[in-house]
Amino acid sequence: MDSFGNYPREESFDPFAVMLFKGLQVVAFLFFIALLAMNPEAKSGKVDSKAEFIISLVWPDDHPDDLDLYVEDPVGNIVWYHEREAGFMVLERDDRGGANDFIIAAGKKITNPIREETVAIRGIVAGEYTVNVNHYLAATGKPVPVSVKVEKLNPKLEIVHYETFNLDHAGQEKTAVRFKIDREGAVVETSRMEKSLIQLTRSVKRNAK
């Protein structure tokens, strides 16, 4: 008569089946953790740069004056607005003050207020680098506060040099910093001894004629 009852009997307890089910749950959980480890979530704001060093020149937003960054490497290569790639160095942008800080989008001119030039050093060459700033165009006739920063990116971010100073007339050139690195890219020495890079670029032009 039991087989004809209104309610079915409860199934008998099988400990082996329960253990097997729990084991499958553990395996599935470990598999999920492994997937997370292989595909980590991207960190917000993280930029993977290919450069070894970043050198930046910054002056006040919306300023009309034109300032230029010059960088020389240990073998005599110089990057500037007429030679934007040399050796392992790249001038990422020539910021001409109020002359070129805009783009045309949907027929409208959109202005970029930021005044900044950046040089990336994408390889290691042992020796001394020289970083200069030139006050190319003085539209206001007033002193301009500028900031120069040298950052070493690998194996971790390190500020090699940071300084703010004034430039006050067109044609003024100032050495912001000279720094030496060894074969591993470690900075071993810094100085502020003046050295004209503009004169060197002019000499190269004359010799090329």
Distance of alpha carbon 96 from alpha carbon 80, whole angstroms: 12
Query: 136, 67 in Cβ contact below 8 A?
Result: yes
Give percent of the chain with pLDDT exceeding 90. 58
Residue 114's pLDDT band (boundaries 50, 70, 90)? confident
Residue 182's pLDDT is 97
Q: Which amino acid is at 72?
A: E
**Residue 7 placed within a domain:** no
| Number of domains comprising the chain | 1
What is each CA distance from 37 to 31, 40, 41, 44, 205, in whole angstroms?
A: 10, 6, 9, 17, 55
**Residue 48 placed within a domain:** no
pLDDT at 46 over 60: no
Higher pLDDT, 40 or 92: 92
pLDDT at 38 over 70: no
pLDDT at 5 over 50: no
Residue 27's pLDDT is 64
What CATH number is given to the structural domain containing 174?
Answer: 2.60.60.30
Mean pLDDT of the chain: 81
pTM, rounded to two decimals:
0.71
**Residue 137 placed within a domain:** yes
What order do you get walking across the sheet with 127-137 strand by strand?
Answer: 78-79, 66-72, 127-137, 173-181, 187-191
Query: 177, 148 in Cβ contact below 8 A?
Result: yes
Q: Which amino acid is at 34?
A: A
Query: 98, 67 in Cβ contact below 8 A?
Result: no
**Residue 169 placed within a domain:** yes
Higher pLDDT, 107 or 117: 117
Residue 70's pLDDT band (boundaries 50, 70, 90)? very high
**Residue 92 placed within a domain:** yes
**Residue 23 placed within a domain:** no
pLDDT at 197 over 80: yes
**Residue 22 placed within a domain:** no
Q: Whole domain around residue 198: which residue ranges?
A: 53-208
Residue 122's pLDDT is 97
